[in-house]
Structure 1
Amino acid sequence: MVFNEEIFKRKSELGGSIELICGSMFSGKTEELIRRLNRARIAKLKIEIFSPKADTRFVEDALVSHNANSIPSTPVDNASAILLLSSDVHVVGIDEAQFFDDELPDVCNVLANKGIRVIVAGLDMDFKGRPFGPMPAIMAIAESVTKLHAVCVRCGNPALYSYRLVPDEAKILLGEQESYEPRCRICYHS
């Protein structure tokens, strides 16, 4: 553990980082976030994971991927709560970032400037194909951006859109395969 503490001290002096994992629904964003956080755990780094309290699709105190992989998480009401709950950690994971308030990019910067590795996952576009929530701002300040693609259910090409199947114009509509399907650009617009 002494070795990891020395690395943490050096990273704190040098600054942390912000990593963004984005893409459409069913592209594996949460799966990739869980993978990265588990690797940090293997390295014996202290991690904290947060998700928006409003996302009630799965269990309240864990991130769950569509492949049924899970990792414990803390649901929070707003982005500023992450700062209060992430003291003395090496890595912070944030899932479903699109549902957080506009403070999230500032929170990510504060954490990274403290030497913390921040890994954020979320939808980059809403069902209308427009930038979603604080995601564009996080994309702009991130050291690295990983854009994942699902498979278009219509033609099999890479899908970057989350097509809404139900007639509801609300910007936020929690749902899964009964409400959304991944589509490529051509199938989304046709």
Structure 2
Amino acid sequence: MFLENASRKGWIEVVCGSMFSGKTEELIRRLKRAQFAHQRVEIFKPCIDVRYSEEEVVSHDAHAIRSTPVESPQNILLMTSDVDVVGIDEAQFFDESIVDVCRQLADNGVRVIVAGLDMDYTGRPFGPMPALMATAEYVTKVHAICVRCGNLAHH
């Protein structure tokens, strides 16, 4: 019989898929539910993501949630000493150290929810996402719909 370490309550969730598949929408939905449950939530995104807002994560459906832009995944550790849930959007734009940062947060009892593109435009694995997906306890893959044929879009 296997028993999990009862003191570890943190875990990693990854929401991945193609562009326009609803990754950020799902991230925002999960984070807002955590806030509704009175959990302490912090949200981060790469500094280079300034498409809609510099200090918000914004979905294509125009839903938004306040976030902190960071240059390096290590900066996340400096700002999460007293949180229950950490959200990270556009994780594919971080370097591989994001994987260790997420593991460390989870080992410290934090629920970590990461969203990002799993493949680039050529269909190849994108940045640290494959390692995050392998490390995560829960992976949700969402799909866009092709506007030409109506089938699932894969990248």
Pick the TM interval, shorter chain: over 0.9
TM-score by length of 2: 0.95
Instruction: Work out the CA distance in 1 between the residues paired with 2:146 and 2:53.
Output: 27
Q: Which residue of the partner structure matches residue 95 of structure 1?
A: 89
**What fraction of aligned residue pairs are identical, expressed as a percent?**
64
> Are 1:49 and 2:58 counterparts?
no
Instruction: Work out the CA distance in 2 between the residues paired with 1:25 and 1:51.
Output: 16
Instruction: Work out the CA distance in 2 between the residues paired with 1:12 and 1:55.
Output: 37
* Structure 2 contact 88–113 (Cα < 8 Å) conserved: yes
Residue segments in structure 2 that go unaligned for 5+ positions in a row? none
Give the alignment's Cα RMSD to 1 decimal. 1.2
User: Could you say which structure has the larger radius of gyration?
Assistant: 1
Instruction: Work out the CA distance in 1 between the residues paired with 2:8 and 2:119.
Output: 33
Task: Map 1:167-182 to 2 at 5 A.
Answer: none
Count of residue pairs brought into register by the alignment: 151
- AA matched with 1:153: V
TM-score by length of 1: 0.78
Runs of at least 4 residues off by over 4 Å: none
> Are 1:24 and 2:24 counterparts?
no
Instruction: Work out the CA distance in 2 between the residues paired with 1:120 and 1:135.
Output: 9
Cα drift, residue 87 of structure 1: 1.1
Task: Map 1:148-187 to 2 at 5 A.
Answer: 148-161=142-155
Q: Which residue of the partner structure matches residue 8 of structure 1?
A: none
Question: Relative CO higher for 1 or 2, CA cutoff 8 Å, sep ≥ 6?
Answer: 2
* Structure 1 contact 15–115 (Cα < 8 Å) conserved: yes
Residue segments in structure 1 that go unaligned for 5+ positions in a row? 1-10, 162-190
Task: Map 1:1-190 to 2 at 5 A.
Answer: 13-161=7-155
